[in-house]
Amino acid sequence: MTSIAETPEWRALQAHFARLRDVHLRDLFAGDAFRGETMTLEVEDLFLDYSKNRVTAETLRLLVALAERTGLRERVESMFTGRHINVTEDRPVLHVALRMPRAESLVVDGVDVAAQVHAVLDRMSEFSDRVRTREWEGFTGRPIRNVVNIGIGGSDLGPAMAYEALRDYSDRSMRFRFVSNVDGTDVWEATQDLDPAETLFIVSSKTFTTVETLTNATTARQWLLEGRQGLHEPAAVARHFVAVSTDAQKVADFGIDPTNMFEFWDWVGGRYSYDSAIGLSLMIAIGPDRFRSMLDGFHAIDVHFRTAPLARNMPVLLGLLGVWYGDFFGTETQAILPYSQYLSELSSYLQQLDMESNGKHVRLDGSQVEVQTGPVVWGTPGTNGQHAYYQLIHQGTKLIPCDFVGFVRPSHLLGRHHDLLMANFFAQTEALAFGKSPEEVEAEDTPPPLVPHKVMPGNHPTNTILATELSPKVLGELIALYEHRVFTMGTIWGINSFDQWGVELGKTLATRIVTEVESEREPDLTHDSSTNALIRRYRRARR
Ligand code: G6Q
């Protein structure tokens, strides 16, 4: 593969960057009175204002040319039509099929995957309704009031984020918890105050081999069968455990009745899976209709991504801006700042989506990537961050592109809260872009020694995503937007956004070390001197 950095499109961007790098947003706005209205895009319930980016119309034209050069259009079609674009695992990448309307079909490798999706959605809906209406009873005839999802990574972060985001739409008479960490504290805290007779565990694991999930599920099963409330018979497991997996045999081996298994498929990547059966806990919380409305939101953005011209394509624009900052300005991180308390888990979710997808150092053909790939993604809900780390974004020495995500309608109409929240939302992007010049600081009669401290350089780029309200449909739109942004960036860099070999080495080493840690006899350690000494110290102290 030709290195992207050697293409004329990349070189044109480099030359353009040399001209634009020191241009201030103040000047870009001064030069175009309509910039704040023209550099915007509305798709479904999402309004994007990208005017506060360090770009001109020419920058965008050059970035779109780069996208065309990398065959973005064709690659999008390859994904949507089920070609095996995940080359290192020889699989199609079809999370977009998870939200296709029932009337459509998509035949991939001889199978109508859309029909498979709807068959599982129907089973999930039926089961969710039975739990929600209390028709599904625990082993002793008590209704289920607690649902605990056990999973990790892609089998945890999505449902946990979406449950939190849509908590306002959830059945408040039930409790929902998410256990992921192999630290026993997680499962202990999640269960210690629950009544086992009223608790349903959903063991979510695509492979059903993940050590954290199986360890937590085993502990949960022991907790269930401890004998409290008359629950000691293994038969109770069938009423209190269901599974979400691709592997029916392993589910059966664990002791869960395969008729209580909800299926998904190899072509759904873990971090792209919460709109599959992995979202079962969410569906029980918010009900099947709202879950389907969320899928409609995803689908609407899928259609936009597939059909809109690149220059008016929201995920493409966001992706190109990400490339512009990371590869030309040399930024290393991307802040995502949601102005909604319900989105408190969004950045953890997007962290995995983006960093596991685009944290790659080689291209599809195995050759080294010669440019910067995925950013470090981070953030917390506004306005908390404003009283903590925003200082560094405003006046530090790093350039940090930020996405501000806010909603026109409040989730709860309480006094002035929402207007205050949104006033802060607007104020921050204004302050970041335009700052405060020395002249402005001096005009406030600031003592001269303090002037440099009070100057705000500005010129910090932001995207503003202003959505209508945080509903299931809008959440689907937002997540699809970020999924396709990641896709766009991965395509520009020519990497595989759908594998994750980097997590394997640590897993393999942990398997080896656990036997050394647990061994009765002093183990013969052959690691490096640091790891050997740490293991010995732990073994000594543990005794
Ligand atoms: C996601 C990753 C990873 C995965 C977990 C859990 O894209 O592949 O986070 O989701 O390792 O895997 P299982 O669902 O197989 O337990």
Specify the pLDDT at position 440: 97
Q: Could you give the 3-state DSSP secondary structure of residue 111?
A: strand
Predicted confidence at residue 504, as pLDDT, reads 86
What whole-number distance in Å separates Cα of residue 425 and Cα of residue 464? 9
Active-site entry in 361, 387, 453, 520: 387
Distance from the CA of 323 to the center of ligand 1, in angstroms?
Answer: 27
Instruction: Indicate the length of the chain as a whole number.
Output: 543
Per-residue confidence at 231, pLDDT binned at 50, 70, 90? Answer: confident
Q: What is the mean pLDDT of residues 170-174?
A: 98
pLDDT digits (tens, 9 = 90+) for 138-148: 999 999 999 99
The Cα 244–Cα 263 span in angstroms is: 6
- Identity of the amino acid at 353: L
Calculate how far, in angstroms, residue 56's C-alpha sits from the geometric centre of ligand 1.
40
CB 251 less than 6 A from any atom of ligand 1: no
- CB distance 207 to ligand 1 below 6 Å: yes
Q: Is the peptide bond before 331 cis (omega within 30 degrees of 0)?
A: no
Please tell me the number of Cα atoms within 13 Å of 83 on its side-chain side: 8
Residue of 206, 245, 351, 355 best suited for mutating to test ligand 1, as the one with most atoms within 8 Å of CB? 206
Centre of ligand 1 to C-alpha 246, Å, is 12
- pLDDT exceeds cutoff 80 at 543: no
Q: What is the pLDDT of residue 512?
A: 92
pLDDT band of residue 382 (cuts 50, 70, 90) is confident
Q: What pLDDT is attached to residue 506?
A: 87
**Does ligand 1 have an atom closer than 6 angstroms to the CB of 494?**
no
- The CA 218 to ligand 1 mean position distance, Å, reads 18
3-state SS, one letter per residue, for 209-266: CCHHHHHHHHHHHHHHCCCHHHCCCHHHHHHHEEEEECCHHHHHHHCCCHHHEEECCC
CA–CA gap between residue 439 and residue 442 (Å, rounded): 5
Average pLDDT over residues 184-192: 98
Task: For ligand 1, atom 10, name the residue with the nearest CA.
Answer: 154
Beta bridge partners of 91: 86
Q: Percent of the chain having pLDDT more than 70? A: 99
Residue 228: pLDDT band with limits 50, 70, 90: confident
- Residue 144 is predicted with a pLDDT of 98
Report the amino acid identity of residue 57: A
Q: Is the pLDDT of residue 433 over 80?
A: yes
Q: Measured in angstroms, how far is the CA atom of residue 275 from the centroid of ligand 1?
A: 14
Question: Considering only CA atoms, which of 465, 462, 485, 486 is closest in space to residue 474?
Answer: 465
Is any ligand 1 atom within 6 A of the Cβ of residue 211? no
Average pLDDT value for the chain: 96
| Alpha carbon 206 to its chain's center | 17
The whole-angstrom separation of Cα 325 and Cα 459 is: 13
387 tagged catalytic: yes
Instruction: Determine the number of helices (DSSP H) and then strands (DSSP E) in the chain.
Output: 22, 13
Per-residue pLDDT at 232 exceeds 90 = no
pLDDT at 16: 98
How do 402-407 and 146-150 pair as beta strands?
Answer: unpaired
Task: Name 176's bridge partners.
Answer: 147
Q: Is the CA virtual torsion 24, 46, 276, 86 positive or negative?
A: negative
Predicted local confidence at residue 92, as pLDDT: 97
Give dist(CA 168, CA 410) in Å, integer: 11
The share of the chain scoring above pLDDT 90, in percent, equals 96
Q: Measured from the CB, is residue 213 less than 6 Å from ligand 1? A: yes
Strand partners, 256: none
Pairing verdict, β 107-108 and 111-112: antiparallel
Find the helix packing angle between 288-307 and 314-323, rounded to 10°: 70
What is the average pLDDT across 340-351?
A: 98
- Tokens standing for residue 8: 């004329």
Helices 72-80 and 472-493 meet at what angle, rounded to 10?
130
Mean pLDDT of the region 47-72? 98
- Taking the centre of ligand 1 as the mean of its atom positions, its distance from the CA of residue 459, in whole angstroms, is 39
Mean pLDDT to the nearest integer, 98-120: 97
Q: How far is the C-alpha of 236 from the C-alpha of 232, rounded, in Å? A: 7
pLDDT over threshold 90, residue 467:
yes
40, 91, 102, 346 from 296: Cα distances, Å: 23, 25, 11, 20
Could you tell me if the CB of 95 is within 6 A of ligand 1?
A: no
Model confidence at 230: pLDDT above 80? no
pLDDT of residue 35: 98
Work out the average pLDDT over 323-343: 98
What integer pLDDT is reported at residue 454 of this predicted model?
98
> Region 58-77: what's the mean pLDDT?
98
Q: Are 112 and 338 in contact (CB under 8 A)?
A: no
Position of tokens 């929240």? 421
Q: Is it the case that residue 185 has pLDDT exceeding 90?
A: yes
The pLDDT of residue 482 is 98
Give the number of other Cβ atoms within 10 Å of residue 517's Cβ: 13
> Which ligand 1 atom is at minimum distance from the Cα of 152?
6
Q: Is 394 known to be catalytic? A: no
The pLDDT score that the predictor gives to residue 213 is 97
- Residue pLDDT, tens place only, 421-430: 999 999 999 9
Could you give the CA distance from residue 488 to residue 497 in angstroms, rounded to a whole number? 10
What mean pLDDT do residues 67-78 have? 98
In angstroms, the CA 348 to CA 322 distance is 18
The residues near 386 (Cβ < 8 Å, ≥ 6 apart) are 424, 428
- Cα–Cα distance measured from residue 4 to residue 2, given in angstroms and rounded to the nearest whole number: 6
Q: Is the pLDDT of residue 227 over 90?
A: no
412 is a catalytic site residue:
no
List pLDDT tens digits, range 385-422: 999 999 999 999 999 999 999 999 999 999 999 999 99
- At 541, is the pLDDT very low, low, confident or very high (cuts 50, 70, 90)? very high
Q: Is 376 helix (H, G, I), strand (E, B) or coil?
A: strand
* pLDDT for 149: 98
User: Is the C-beta atom of 460 inside 6 A of ligand 1?
Assistant: no
